[in-house]
Amino acid sequence: MAAQSRVEQYVPRRVPAKAPDPFSRFTALNRQVESFSVSDVDANLLSDAISSWVGRGFAITFGRTSDGGAIGVHLLANGSRRPSYHATAEELETFLSEIVASGQASVGQ
């Protein structure tokens, strides 16, 4: 095997471009997925859901998924975490309505 010169050792080799991975978590960013914001959700419903959940001594967090295609909501209660992901404002509003309803049911007991 021939020895490489010092210059050849430090010159990077060209690597052929890879085809995009259809299962990559960043694929949705490349597709420019339609996304929504929490500000698209009914503000009163959002406030009621947060108040209902936090009022019971639990925590709730909101964030965007890494591909930007959904809003992630994590409910934290009694040492456990329940993640849920919502791709539309309607899905998120349905989920928030369930939180409010569960809070009203626990108050009625």
CATH number corresponding to 40-109: 3.30.160
Report pLDDT digits (tens) over 2-44: 555 555 555 555 544 555 555 555 555 555 556 788 888 999 9
Rg (CA), the chain: 23
- Per-residue pLDDT of 77-96, as tens digits, reads 998 999 999 989 999 999 99
User: Domain spans of the chain?
Assistant: 40-109
- Global pTM reads 0.66
CA-CA distances (angstroms) from residue 34 to 14, 43, 81, 84?
35, 21, 27, 18
Residue that the structure tokens 């009621």 belong to: 48
How many Å apart are CA 41 and CA 89, to the nearest integer? 6
